Amino acid sequence: MKIGIIGIGNIGGTIARKLASAGHEVRVANSKGAVAVRPFAEEIGAAATDTNGAISGADLVIMSIPLPAIERLPKNLFKDVPASVPVVDTSNYYPGLRDPQIADLDAGEAESVWVSKQIGRPVIKAFNNILAHSLAEVGQPEGRDGRLAVAVAGDDDAAKQLVMGIVNEVGFDPVDGGTLEESWRQQPSTPGYCCDYDAVAMRRALNAAVKGEAPKKREQLTSKMATLGPSPTHDDVVAMNRSLNPLT
Q: Output phi, psi for 99, to 5 deg.
A: -105, 150
Do 92 and 165 touch, CB atoms closer than 8 A?
no
Do 63 and 70 touch, CB atoms closer than 8 A?
yes
Strands 87-89 and 124-126: parallel
Report the side by side order of strands in the sheet with 47-48: 47-48, 25-29, 2-6, 60-63, 87-89, 124-126, 149-153, 173-176
Number of domains composing the chain:
1
Is residue 222 scored above 80 in pLDDT?
no
Q: How many CB atoms lie within 10 A of CB 71?
A: 15
* Average pLDDT over every residue of 97-102: 88
Residue 215: inside a domain: yes
| Residue with more model confidence, 215 or 187 | 187
Helix (H, G, I), strand (E, B) or coil at 39: helix
Is residue 97 scored above 90 in pLDDT?
no
Beta bridge partners of 48: 28
Q: What amino acid occupies position 75?
A: K
- Residue 209's domain comprises 66-244
Residue 144: inside a domain: yes
Is 91 buried (19+), middle (13-18) or exposed (0-12) by CB count in 10 A? buried
pLDDT at position 31 is 86
pLDDT at position 243 is 93
The number of CA neighbours under 13 Å toward the Cβ of 240 is 20
pLDDT in tens, 124-173: 999 999 999 999 999 999 999 999 999 999 999 999 999 999 999 999 99
Residue 39: inside a domain: no
* Average pLDDT over every residue of 25-51: 96
Q: Assign residue 25 a region: left if phi > 0, alpha if psi is -120 to 50, beta otherwise?
A: beta
What average pLDDT does the structure give for the chain?
Answer: 95
Beta bridge partners of 27: 4, 47
Residue 14: inside a domain: no
Residue 11: inside a domain: no
CATH number of 114's domain: 3.40.50
Helix (H, G, I), strand (E, B) or coil at 31: coil
Residue 103: inside a domain: yes
pLDDT in tens, 2-13: 999 999 999 999
Residue 196: inside a domain: yes
Whole-angstrom distance, CA of residue 139 vs CA of residue 149: 9
Helix (H, G, I), strand (E, B) or coil at 150: strand
99 — pLDDT class (breaks 50, 70, 90): confident
231 — pLDDT class (breaks 50, 70, 90): confident
Residue 18: inside a domain: no
